[in-house]
Structure 1
Amino acid sequence: MPEPQIRKSATLVETIYHEGGPAPETPLRRAACMTVIANPFAGRYVEEIEGFMKDLEPLGIQMAQHCIDALGGDASVVEGYGKGAIVGTNGELEHGALWHVPGGYAMRDKIAESMAIVPSTKKVGAPGARLDVPVTHTNASYVRSHFDAMEVGLNDAPKADEILLVLVMTTGPRIHARVGGLKAKDVAGKDGLR
């Protein structure tokens, strides 16, 4: 399979100081790394596409590190993560699914406590399409305070023959999270769920 051809990348960092209530001691930070690549399968049906996941692995590692760097360079502050893809209109949804393994495992390999599956979303869209990337706790998917999403997109991507790949990391729960459920401090960390 061909190496990914990158047209552009962007990193977005949000710092959330409050959500209308009292300001937390430490603001929540969220980072999204986005990379636009050529879709090698655009415009035609290709049966065997799985091999391209291996080609995406170095890009996943690079993007995961960009997210960590955007949050200050210390992977231990990352408590939430998610991934996603927008496939240009000459592609198919399955081309976005190629990002599951290289994107997810890259983040899990960079974060010491990361037993939970990385949530994901994908869609086919035109340039300027937006994507709500789901986020959950890195070590236990049932930690309700970390159920979140980050909206991302680029005004000129993906073009019809491109894919926009996304990784998201966060430093904590939603500001003012107070709807119960498993608390991060109570995570057993054995099964990726609780």
Structure 2
Amino acid sequence: MPEPQIRKTAMIVETIHHEGGPAPDVPQRRAAAMAVIKNPFAGRYVEDIAPFMKDLEPLGAQMAQDLVAALGGDAAQVEGYGKGAIVGAAGEIEHGALWHVPGGYAMRDAIEKSAAIVPSTKKVGPVGARLDVPVTHTNASYVRSHYDAMEVGIPDAPRADEIVLVLVMTTGGRIHARMGGLAAADVKGEDGLR
């Protein structure tokens, strides 16, 4: 397979000072890196699509590094992550699933303490489709304070023959999390869960 043909990239960075309650000492930040690529399988059924995952690895690595930089450059401060894909109308949901391995492992390689599964979502959608990308703690999936999502999208994408690939990272949990459960400070980091 040829390397991915990128039409455009985009970065969204949010700094959350509060959600109606008291402002924390350090605002929470979250960012989404997006890449709009041509879908090499659009408009036809192709049985063996898995090799394209390898072709996506360099793009995933670059997007993950760009996210760390957008959040201040310190990989140790990243506490949450997630990934997703929006497939254009001439593609199929399975084309978005190709992002699981190259997107997820790229983020794990770019940050510290990343034993937890990288949550993911995908859909087939029209131009301008939005996607809620799920986010959990990077090292322990049971940390409730980090259960979150970031809504993303690009106004002119995906075109029918494109895929929007998305990676999300955060520097903390929800700004006013108070539902109890395992605290981030108490993570053992042994199994990706606790």
Q: Report the TM range for the smaller structure's normalisation.
A: over 0.9
Give the distance between the partners of 1:110 and 1:62, measured in 2 at CA: 10
Q: Deviation of residue 112 (structure 1)?
A: 1.6
* 2:80 pairs with 1:80: yes
- Counterpart check, 1:105 vs 2:139: no
**Residue 121, structure 1, aligned to residue 111, structure 2:** no
Amino acid of the residue matched to residue 192 of structure 1? G
**1:154 aligned partner, one-letter code:** I
Q: Which runs of 5+ in 1 are unaligned?
A: none
Task: Give distance in 1, aligned partners of 2:102 and 2:11.
Answer: 18
Q: Secondary structure at the match of 1:18?
A: coil
Tell me the matched-pair count: 194
The runs of 4+ residues in structure 1 deviating greater than 4 Å are none
State the TM-score, normalizing by the size of structure 2.
Answer: 0.99
The two structures have a TM-score, normalised by structure 1, of 0.99
* CA distance in structure 2 between the partners assigned to 1:112 and 1:77 by the alignment: 9
The CA deviation at 1:164 is 0.1
**Aligned counterpart, 1:179:** 179
1:37-76 correspondence runs (5 A): 37-76=37-76
Question: Equivalent residue of 1:151, what SS?
Answer: strand
Distance 1:53 1:32 in 2: 20
What corresponds to 2:191 in structure 1?
191
Separation of aligned partners in 1, 2:157 and 2:184: 36
Counterpart in 1 of 2:143? 143
Question: Alpha carbon RMSD of aligned pairs, Å?
Answer: 0.4
Q: Which residue of 2 aligns with 1:20?
A: 20
Q: Which residue of 2 aligns with 1:169?
A: 169
Matched residues in 1 for 2:76 and 2:152: separation? 24
Q: Which runs of 5+ in 2 are unaligned?
A: none
